[in-house]
Amino acid sequence: MFGQFDQISSLDLVAHVIQVALTPIFLLSGSATLLNVFSTRLARVADRADQITKAIEESETDETTDLIRQLIHLRRRSIALDAAVLLCAVAAAATCASVFTLFVGALRNSTVASVVFTTFGIAIACTISAIGAFTAEMLMAGSGVRAEMAAKRRSSEQV
């Protein structure tokens, strides 16, 4: 009987570790989704920068100043997106470290709560920071669109 009891409790322990490890996996999935969003936004910024660069080559000197200002704005957006990507990647790595620590801790029967707490805390802090950087980029994108619309409105009023 004792052999069966030990097998059941060890099976319960493994099942519990897997259940606990699923929580960080949801954060990892969310981080992957955020990285996809960030890369899409970065591609749009790069496409717009290419358009502006071509327009600078073909423009007159009056338009060049405005186009260079737009290019500077796109540079700030790309820096914000770089920060978001970096923070999200660190969050994903810390999440993986949390899951790995849970499994190693279960195998060694040691207390690893402080390591799990630290790595999962880093993952959450980096995810929040990545969302903050992405929000900053979105706000810059919105203000850039509004500035572009205002410039077009001013140029159409002059005609």
Q: Which residue type occupies 131?
A: I
Three-state DSSP at 110 gives coil
pLDDT of 122 reads 83
**Which of 1 and 50 is assigned the larger pLDDT?**
50
Q: What is the pLDDT of residues 41-83, one digit of tens each?
A: 888 988 888 898 888 888 877 788 888 888 888 888 888 888 8
Query: Distance of CA 16 to CAs 21, 69, 122, Å?
Result: 8, 56, 23
Q: Determine the Cα–Cα distance for residues 52 and 35; give it in Å rounded to an integer.
A: 26
User: Who's near 120: CB < 8 A, 6+ residues apart?
Assistant: 24, 27, 94, 95, 98
